[in-house]
């Protein structure tokens, strides 16, 4: 009984396609593992309390006029930022103060952070004072 020699003919095109599909399969498996593996870190800000719920105020003085910035928080979010005792004379003397606090508050609502707040270009110094007053009120609310 003689052994027959078998000749296998492989086309180079088939080998290249097979190698490409195998490489893509390996990349897909690696990406799926990276995307769906559990993170080792637990973010304490999402699971725990960040603030003591309530309304906190901070004083702000503009041109010998005292204003109070009022910040309302719940356990994990800043819900409201406003002036609590602003009157018509202050808004007449500082017409851009209300839009400035609204712009700052909008950014804080979106990010829930006081970092990287873009201050309005038309009132940078007043906006900085408002942001410092907000920061002081939020520090009063922070859980220690």
**What is residue 48's predicted lDDT score, i.e. its pLDDT?**
63
Q: Which tens digit of pLDDT belongs to each residue from 106-131?
A: 999 999 888 888 888 888 888 999 99
CB count within 10 Å of CB 131 equals 19
Q: Which tens digit of pLDDT belongs to each residue from 88-99?
A: 888 888 888 888
pTM above 0.85, yes or no: no
Instruction: Provide the pLDDT confidence category of residue 45 given band limits of 50, 70 and 90.
Output: very low
């Amino acid at each position: 009984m003689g052994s027959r020699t078998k000749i296998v003919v492989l086309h180079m095109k088939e080998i290249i396609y097979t190698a490409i599909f195998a490489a893509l399969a390996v990349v897909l498996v690696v990406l799926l593992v990276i995307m769906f593996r559990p993170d080792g870190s637990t973010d304490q800000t999402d699971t725990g309390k960040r603030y003591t719920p309530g309304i906190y105020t901070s004083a702000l003085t503009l041109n010998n006029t005292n204003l109070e910035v009022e910040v309302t928080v719940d356990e994990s979010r800043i819900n409201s930022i406003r002036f609590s005792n602003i009157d018509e004379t202050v808004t007449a003397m500082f017409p851009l103060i209300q839009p400035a606090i609204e712009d700052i508050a909008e950014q804080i609502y979106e990010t829930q952070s006081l970092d990287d707040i873009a201050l309005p270009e038309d009132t940078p110094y007043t906006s900085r004072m408002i942001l410092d007053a907000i920061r002081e009120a939020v520090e009063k609310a922070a859980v220690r």
